[in-house]
Chain A
């Protein structure tokens, strides 16, 4: 599905990602974890086109067989053509627009194609009306999935925090992604909301979308991920299924701090 190889991201003298390679398989939930400042969000920004990598390659192969070189594509094409959706660590909704409008903006390219360069739709001709009805149906489906149908006409900025997180995921799903990248989706959620989030993510995976997530909440990571990649200082220090990662001494050392050299290992 997603294959990252030799990824390097250099900011001036700082090498935030240093030769990272990993694979995310189709239909898997792949988690990227690591201590603060390990370069997780930088990797995400490279994959979703917000940064142009200094080196290495990122290849995405659709289940249908089409292949995209994400490291050479402009940012918006990664979402519209390669079908990679993302959410943000600090939620980025269109706060002054309603929940429904947020979901319709996400379907911009599909709807825009039906407007006949805008002219026909402004005149009320063409197939835009049908396209918008279909768009609203899709929005309704995702509103239902995240439990926000009742609040569809409220401004997104007025929703409580947990609902904003869910709305951002629903909005990302409205571009029909093959890969959904979630940047700390469980941050700031209470245990019950966190459980609901797990179920939502499982449901998205069952719908045929692969997931890549950055997460600090180990409960979420260990429960739902099929595969974990551990980063530290921009390098991969471990890679494997949750059970393996849990017992990897390198991972434990990275999280709890390495022992002093003269210290006797316990």
Chain B
């Protein structure tokens, strides 16, 4: 009985939410806009909430203890599966261009960019435990430093790549110096502001950055001096290998560039984790006071985390600029920082595999969901859903947000939440997530 009442209340809340969201739609008619009602679609959504709540409640009243007991076993199985997931993902990543599908390679490039950003931010947030809401600032610094150096001085991508990293690291250290005395929420707010400041500077410093119009004509990377060009002459990739020039060649080449950069990020983070510096980062996340009592220079160690995280953000930014051939401040809004942070948190703080999986789910999954929903919309011929079918893809963010909430309720510490020790005397044993601190800045 209480379950019924509870489900009814949930349905009532859902009605309040979805009546305006789903039930009302404005359509333009002869005399301007008029309101159209969609009672059936609303009823379906509210009914789903009612049934869902009933199912959740009935499951909860049954064996809650059993589900708790199953949890460690599940975690163990996931960590065991992780051993096979990594090589499989790697093979899939290398093999993806052989599908020859431009859509998949473009999507793969996008996902890999976010994986790289996620791994870069993972150093700051996951290892050192410093909550950074302005990571996009380093992405922007990297992109703009490459774009400006290339368009003003005619430098190539591979020359500018390290420079972009250095500029971004410099920005990271500049940000770090004044703000690292702040902790937790305060640090988060200041980094958020820093990200916005960089974007506002890019918009308003018109003489340097061309303001909101952005920078065009950013050159593509070369392969050992061979240009990617459509004319197919000598000195271009197509000319050298004596093949017909095609757009797909450029896309595949860019895909492998970002794959290489992402793997470099992963390799460096994995190496650093086993070095004193990486251990000091993790120790800072665990207990800053104890670190100080052991003679670790807390400020410098935090600065290195910010700096090295920023380098990879800068690399990714330079790649973004060369891929798009056009950048403007619009590409570096807060939503980018939020997406990357969501990837790191969803993946599990500090876990390389988790971040990769989360990026695939968050970026690739969202795109796939869009396709799936428009496919579903096409299949719905029933007049019942005529109003909603064409707009189904617009609901992807709603569904996606819901999936994220469910995910974080089920696995609050992320997809891959345990911590693997960096060194072992006898045998490496994974550490349960509830022992690992999340860092308070």
Q: Interface readout for A107-118 with B: 1 if CB under 8 Å, 0 if not? A: 111011001001
The answer to whether B295 touches A98 (Cβ under 8 A) is: no
Stretch from A79-87, A236-244, A245-253 contacting the other chain: A79-87
The answer to whether B423 touches A136 (Cβ under 8 A) is: yes
Across chains A and B, the number of contacting residue pairs, with CB separation under 8 Å, is 140
Considering the complex, give the chain B residue whose CB is closest to the CB of A124: B271
The answer to whether B435 touches A86 (Cβ under 8 A) is: no
Known A-B contacts A79-B293, A93-B290, A96-B436; the reply to A104 vs B428 at CB < 8 A is: no
The answer to whether B425 touches A94 (Cβ under 8 A) is: no
- Report if A171 contacts B (CB, 8 A): yes
Partner of B435 from A75, A95, A112, A149 at Cβ < 8 Å: A95
- Report if B429 contacts A (CB, 8 A): yes
- Report if B291 contacts A (CB, 8 A): yes
The answer to whether B298 touches A76 (Cβ under 8 A) is: yes
The answer to whether A108 touches B295 (Cβ under 8 A) is: yes
Q: Interface readout for A145-183 with B: 1 if CB under 8 Å, 0 if not? A: 000010011110110000000000001100100000000
The answer to whether A108 touches B279 (Cβ under 8 A) is: yes
Within the assembled complex, what's the spacing in Å between the Cα atoms of A92 and B288? 9
Considering the complex, give the chain B residue whose CB is closest to the CB of A48: B293
Shortest CB distance B351–A (Å): 13
The answer to whether A136 touches B435 (Cβ under 8 A) is: no
Shortest CB distance A102–B (Å): 8
Considering the complex, give the chain A residue whose CB is closest to the CB of B424: A153
- Report if A1 contacts B (CB, 8 A): no
Considering the complex, give the chain A residue whose CB is closest to the CB of B287: A92
The answer to whether A136 touches B425 (Cβ under 8 A) is: yes
Within the assembled complex, what's the spacing in Å between the Cα atoms of A160 and B150? 60
Which residues of chain A have a CB within 8 Å of any CB of chain B? Answer: 48-50, 75-81, 85-86, 88, 92-98, 100-101, 104-109, 111-112, 115, 118, 121-122, 128, 132, 136, 140, 143, 149, 152-155, 157-158, 171-172, 175
Could you list 19 A-B pairs, sorted by A, with CB under 8 Å? A50-B292, A76-B296, A78-B295, A85-B293, A88-B290, A93-B287, A94-B287, A96-B286, A96-B436, A98-B424, A101-B279, A101-B423, A107-B276, A122-B271, A132-B423, A136-B423, A152-B424, A153-B424, A157-B435
Known A-B contacts A100-B425, A158-B435; the reply to A94 vs B275 at CB < 8 A is: no
The answer to whether A101 touches B422 (Cβ under 8 A) is: yes
Within the assembled complex, what's the spacing in Å between the Cα atoms of A100 and B421? 9
Q: Kindly state the interface size class of chain B when it binds its partner.
A: 35 or more
- Report if B426 contacts A (CB, 8 A): yes
Partner of B426 from A96, A97, A152, A175 at Cβ < 8 Å: A152
Partner of B275 from A76, A95, A121 at Cβ < 8 Å: A121
Shortest CB distance A141–B (Å): 12
Considering the complex, give the chain B residue whose CB is closest to the CB of A168: B290
Known A-B contacts A140-B425, A157-B435; the reply to A92 vs B290 at CB < 8 A is: yes
Shortest CB distance B125–A (Å): 15
Shortest CB distance B349–A (Å): 11
Inside 8 A of B297's CB, which chain A residues have their CB?
Answer: 76, 80
Considering the complex, give the chain B residue whose CB is closest to the CB of A77: B295
Known A-B contacts A79-B294, A108-B280, A175-B294; the reply to A97 vs B286 at CB < 8 A is: yes
Shortest CB distance B430–A (Å): 9
Inside 8 A of B432's CB, which chain A residues have their CB?
Answer: 155, 158
The answer to whether A98 touches B421 (Cβ under 8 A) is: yes
Complex interface residues of chain B between 401 and 441 (CB less than 8 A to chain A): 419, 421-429, 431-432, 435-437
Within the assembled complex, what's the spacing in Å between the Cα atoms of A211 and B295? 18
Within the assembled complex, what's the spacing in Å between the Cα atoms of A175 and B296? 11
Within the assembled complex, what's the spacing in Å between the Cα atoms of A109 and B291? 11
